[in-house]
Structures are given as structure tokens and as C-alpha cells.
A and B are shown apart, each in its own frame.
Chain A
Amino acid sequence: MISFELSTEQKEIHEMAMKFAKNEMMPKAMEYDEKAEMPMSILQKAWELGLVNTCIPAEYGGAGFTTQDAMIITEALAYGCLGMNTAIMANDLALLPIVIGGSEDQKKKFLTPFTESYKIAAFCLTEPGNGSDAAGIKTTIKEDGEDFIVNGNKMWITNAGYADLFVVYGTYDASLKHKGITAIVIDGKAAGIELGEKENKMGHRCSDTRAVTFNNVRVPKENILGNVGEGWKIAMKTLNHSRPMVASSAVGGAQCAMDHAVKYAGERIQFGVPLAKHQAIQMMIADMGIEIEAARLLVQKAAWYLDQDKPNPEVSSYSKAKAADMFMDVASDAVQIFGGYGYSKEYPVEKIMRDAKLIQIYEGTSQIQRLVIAKEIFSRS
């Protein structure tokens, strides 16, 4: 039977994460956005409370959350601050390839330290010349005696400036296309890693995004995830998990924008009555409610497939595309309801609208989600 009721424990998880979002993240969100600085003390506290690295299984020291649980946590954290949530979520994005493609030994070695202290991870797929066309990777991973040597440029890497660990995708043999792509774990302190300047971004400004160059970085062979040539498969499985998570962050951000708009509409008087009494405003708010709930249900369904161990890339992409586009619309309408005040940094919806835009871009743009979806649909016809 279908049930939409959260378990008692899930309700408690939601409540606790929302309390953290409202008390610890929201009051500082604008300050760190302006400073464009990683909120290390808040991230550390989130880690101490178990809100970070929700993808790590219990065998390796994680809390043993289901994917559904992880979505609940992400939605709440994004409600508090999209940028801080990106810094938190990028850890999962980088650790998932290890959870999915790593051997027993690799999981113990790489995941467990993340449960013992707050550590930061970065996922390096995108390159300056390859974004949407991720399979066109130019970074090389070449065998050299007992090691591999990694060379190449990565672009837009979240958490790069703080990373204790990088998961890097490169090609073993570019002529093999997808089949040459290999995933490798690189220690953050390895010699030959060069960091670019922190990008000066529109939104998610507190999160740390940089170019990373790997210059003859020597990595032991046992750091290859799965086998040489299995990197693409691992990357796609990772995105199946991470896309609903990104979608869930959009739901949280949109819910926050809507809650601000509802409150403001009740307070602001125009034409002698609160905005909330004007039908045109009511329609906008009602549409927000409809769209947010629709996206949330898609997230839950995508998470349900993952918890059943029946990953469904099509539904993962549905959730990402729907939630990202919904969030952009809701954030824009929330600014509209605030009028001129919404356009000012004095009110929180300005930041939320800037933050919303990124969700349509990273982890596969809204266009790329539709390509994935169409490919699945036509493969059945």
C-alpha cells in the first residue's frame, strides 16, 4: 500500500533539522552570502549533530539513513540556506561514488574518517570544455608502475578549497569514449593539486567553488573505484541518487520563499486591505502550494525507488527538472509579492531567487534532464 505518512522517527528528524535550519542557518545566511565565506562553525555543528554525510551506511560509521530520510534532511537544510546546504550536499555527491563503486576496503578507508571528524569532499566531473557533455572528459588517468598519474583541469568544483578528498573522473583511453572513463580517489594533500581563485557567484555564495588543476598527481592504484573504465557507470549511478537530493533542496528553498511570501502578504496593506485579500495574490500563493507539493512528491517517489534498490534514472530526472524549474518560478513570484522590497537585500527572498537559479544548472541542467527523460521514453517506443 502507498503511504504518505512519515514515520515517527522521520517526523523527529524533520523537526530537528528544521530547528537547526531556523536557529543556526537562517540568521547567518545573508551574512555569509555577502562575505562569500564558508560558514565553517555552522558546518562543523551540523556535522556534530549528524546532518552531514547522510549517504554513509551504518557499516562504515554512518547513521544508517534511508534515501527518504536523507531527502527530509536536505529539504530542511536548504530551507535554512541553499548555499550552506550546497557545501553539505557536495560531500554526499563526492562520497556516493565510493558508496556505490568502492570495494569493502575502500569504503572503510575513505568513508569512515568522515564519520570521525568533520571532513570535506569534492566531486570533480566538469571540465572547462565539458559541462553538459560530461563524457567528453579530457583529464587523463595513466598507469605508471604501482601508481596512476592524473593530469587535467576541472571546473566549477564545489568545496574544492577545503577538500580533504577529491573524487576525480578522468579517461584511461579517450578513444574508448564512455568506456575509458575512470573514477579515482585523490587525497586532498597530494602533490600537484592546484586550486583556482574562489568563483564570485550570483548565489550559493558562501559555498566554495573553484577550478582545480591536477598536475602529474601520483595516486596509488588501490584508489581506483571499481575497475578502470567503470567510472561512467559509477558517475551515472551517483547522479541517480544526487539528483533527487538536489531536487529536495529546491523544494526546501521554495517552501522557504513561499512561507516568507505568505507572511508578508498577510502584513502588507495596499488598497486598504492586506495583499492576501487580493485574489491575484491568492492565485500566486495557491500555485506555489501546488507546485511545491508536486515536486516534493516526485522527490519522494525517486527516493522510494532508490530505497527499493530499483534506481529509476527517468524519475530521478523528473524530480530534478520539475523541482528546479518550480523553484525558479516560486522564487520569482515570491519576489513579485514583496514588490520593491523583494528586490532589496533587506528581505530574504532576494537571496533565495539568486540561489534558485543554480538548481537549474548544476548536476545536469534542466535541458539535460529532459534529454535523459526523452531518451528513456523513446527507448521504450
Chain B
Amino acid sequence: MNIFVCIKQVPDTETKITPNGDGSYIETSSIKWIMNPYDEFAVEQALLTKAANSGSTVTVVRVGGVKDTEALRTALAMGADDAILVESGDNLDSYMTAKALKGAIEKSGNTPDVIYTGKQAIDDDCLQVPQLLAQMLGLPSVSVVVECSEEGGKFTLKREVEGGALEVYDVSSPAVIACNKGLNTPRYASLPGIMKAKRKPLAQHSLSDVGVADSDARVKYSNFQLPPEKPAGKSFDAMDEGNQASVVSEVVKLLREEAKVI
């Protein structure tokens, strides 16, 4: 099987985010990058699929900046066979990203049997790339997948829907499968894996190499701002027994009228 995994590099969840000078994106100079956590489930599922289908290869594809290549190296250290990097800015819109991924996969010369992705990236939370990519490639796609089994190119996928119910899909290969938390437990990159990763092939392309032009942009980013600071909480003193009844009715009134939560 030709297994592809699309991964995004996102700021570490502990990063302090600040808008950049012209407000067109965030300041990236001092960011520590990590693999998008949902993509770890995708890499793990790809490695499990590979283990169950001898002779398979896992290719990881990433579109983004080249200064740090953390996410791709992590995927290779976890056990992916090779990597493709499409060089771009870090804030490509979903359409351009999907188009670049499509171009990179086609350029590899290998026809995908399955493409795994995370269900969303935790930085911009757009939740669009897997579906756009599937549409562009003319493939079926299932997202928010929490269970995945495969037998002879037929996938049985369970996806979460509102209220905790599960939908079950039977999908034949090739397909795009967008993974959710709970699907599996991503393995650690082992130390020998880390040592081996640097000898694995990493192909590098520009956006134009994979058929993407500036005119493909569908979204213009401007005016990045921090959310307004939360106002300080109110505190109420109910230590004095005589006050308690009036404090409680005051709090209930505020919760209903001001906070509008009850």
C-alpha cells in the first residue's frame, strides 16, 4: 500500500502567542514548533496500517515554513519511510494547503491507497483541509474518525457525531481519513528511530513546483489580535452567617442576568 500522511507543524501549546508587526499573522521567530497533535494519531494509524500490510510505505507530506522541520523529523523517527516538504509561509489558507498537498502527492509518482490526516490543526482550527483535499483528488473522505480497521483495501471507520453516538462507514481504498483523539495511542519516536531518521529521504519542493500560485489564495489574513483580557472575577463574602441568604440571591441574580448562564 502507498500510505500518505499529511501533517502540519503548529506552535507548541504552551507558546505565548503574539500578533506580528503588520497583524497579518503571529510572530513566529521564537516559536517552538510541534507536530499538530491530531496528526500524531494519523501517523500512528499509518504505521499500524503499514505493519498490517507488508511491503507498504508511509510517506509524510507537510506544507509550511522550512526553518524548523520538527514535525517531519518526528514522523520519520516514529517510523515513516520518507518525507515531502513543500516550502511556503506558515499561514497558507486551507485551499492553497490542500492544493499543495495534492500536487506533492501526485508529484511523488505513487498513487495513494489511503491518505491519513488529523481532523483539524490546533492553531487555526479551520477543519477544512482533509475535505478539500479529498474533493480535489475525487476521493471519499471521513473525518473525526475514532476507530479504523482495514482488510483487503476496505476500511471500516467509526466517526463521532453529536451526543456521543458513532456513525459507521464502509469505504474502499483509496480514501482520505481524518483522525480524532482516541483512535490510537501514538508511539514515541525511539532513540534509534531518531538516529535513523536523518538518513531517510526528504524531498523538497516550492509551491510552484506543485502547481500552486499566489492567485490560488482564497483568504486574506489581516488584523490578528489577542483576545480581550478577561475581566477580573467577582468575589463574594459569605463567611458571615447573617449575610449568606442575601449573598446567595445576589449571586443567582448575577448568574442569570449578567453572566446569562442559568
Q: Which residues of A contact B194 (CB under 8 A)?
A: 9, 12-13, 16
Instruction: Evaluate contact between B191 and A49: CB separation under 8 angstroms.
Output: yes
CA distance A63 to B198 in the complex (A): 14
Instruction: Evaluate contact between A51 and B191: CB separation under 8 angstroms.
Output: yes
Known: A9-B198, A12-B73. A48 touches B190 (CB 8 A): yes
Report the number of A-B residue pairs with Cβ-Cβ less than 8 Å. 37
CA distance A48 to B189 in the complex (A): 11
Least CB distance from A196 to B in Å reads 34
A108 CB within 8 Å of chain B: no
Q: Which residues of A contact B189 (CB under 8 A)?
A: 12, 16
Q: Which residues of A contact B74 (CB under 8 A)?
A: 12
Least CB distance from B87 to A in Å reads 18
B77 CB within 8 Å of chain A: yes
A172 CB within 8 Å of chain B: no
B242 CB within 8 Å of chain A: no
Q: Which residues of A contact B73 (CB under 8 A)?
A: 8, 12
In the complex, the chain A residue whose C-beta lies closest to that of B69 is A8
Number of B positions contacting A (CB below 8 A): 13
Out of B188, B192, B197, name the residue touching A63 (CB < 8 Å). B192
B219 CB within 8 Å of chain A: no
CA distance A64 to B191 in the complex (A): 10
Q: Which residues of B contact A12 (CB under 8 A)?
A: 73-74, 77, 189, 194, 197
Number of A positions contacting B (CB below 8 A): 16
CA distance A108 to B193 in the complex (A): 23
Residues of A4-37 whose CB lies within 8 A of B:
8-9, 12-13, 16-17, 19-20
Instruction: Evaluate contact between B188 and A20: CB separation under 8 angstroms.
Output: yes
Least CB distance from B49 to A in Å reads 21
B195 CB within 8 Å of chain A: yes
Q: Which residues of A contact B197 (CB under 8 A)?
A: 12
In the complex, the chain A residue whose C-beta lies closest to that of B195 is A63
Instruction: Evaluate contact between A49 and B188: CB separation under 8 angstroms.
Output: yes
Q: Which residues of A contact B77 (CB under 8 A)?
A: 12, 16
Main secondary structure of the interface of A (DSSP, over half): helix
Least CB distance from A33 to B in Å reads 24
Instruction: Evaluate contact between B188 and A64: CB separation under 8 angstroms.
Output: no
Residues of B180-210 whose CB lies within 8 A of A:
188-195, 197-198
Least CB distance from B115 to A in Å reads 26
Residues of A37-55 whose CB lies within 8 A of B:
48-51
CA distance A20 to B188 in the complex (A): 8
Q: Which residues of A contact B188 (CB under 8 A)?
A: 16, 19-20, 49
Residues of A56-104 whose CB lies within 8 A of B:
63-65, 73
CA distance A190 to B188 in the complex (A): 37
CA distance A326 to B190 in the complex (A): 32
Q: Which residues of A contact B198 (CB under 8 A)?
A: 8-9
Residues of B57-97 whose CB lies within 8 A of A:
73-74, 77
Least CB distance from B35 to A in Å reads 11
In the complex, the chain A residue whose C-beta lies closest to that of B198 is A9
Instruction: Evaluate contact between A9 and B195: CB separation under 8 angstroms.
Output: yes
Q: Which residues of B contact A65 (CB under 8 A)?
A: 191
Instruction: Evaluate contact between B191 and A13: CB separation under 8 angstroms.
Output: yes
CA distance A64 to B77 in the complex (A): 16
Least CB distance from B85 to A in Å reads 15
Instruction: Evaluate contact between A16 and B191: CB separation under 8 angstroms.
Output: yes
Contact digits for B161-189, partner A, Cβ 8 Å, 1 yes 0 no: 00000000000000000000000000011
CA distance A285 to B135 in the complex (A): 55
In the complex, the chain B residue whose C-beta lies closest to that of A45 is B188
In the complex, the chain B residue whose C-beta lies closest to that of A73 is B191
Residues of B205-219 whose CB lies within 8 A of A:
none
Q: Which residues of B contact A8 (CB under 8 A)?
A: 73, 198
Q: Name which of B77, B195, B198 has the most chain A CB atoms within 10 A of its CB.
A: B195
In the complex, the chain B residue whose C-beta lies closest to that of A17 is B191
Least CB distance from B81 to A in Å reads 18
CA distance A48 to B197 in the complex (A): 17
Contact digits for A190-210, partner B, Cβ 8 Å, 1 yes 0 no: 000000000000000000000
A residues neighboring B (CB under 8 Å) = 8-9, 12-13, 16-17, 19-20, 48-51, 63-65, 73
B residues neighboring A (CB under 8 Å) = 73-74, 77, 188-195, 197-198
The 8 closest A-B pairs by CB, nearest first: A50-B191, A49-B190, A12-B194, A50-B192, A50-B190, A63-B192, A49-B188, A16-B189
What would 22 A/B residue contacts be, using CB atoms closer than 8 Å? A8-B198, A9-B198, A12-B73, A12-B77, A12-B189, A13-B194, A16-B191, A16-B194, A17-B191, A20-B188, A48-B190, A49-B188, A49-B190, A49-B191, A50-B190, A50-B191, A50-B192, A50-B193, A51-B191, A63-B195, A65-B191, A73-B191
Given contacts A12-B77, A16-B189, 4 further A-B contacts (CB under 8 A): A9-B194, A48-B190, A50-B191, A50-B193
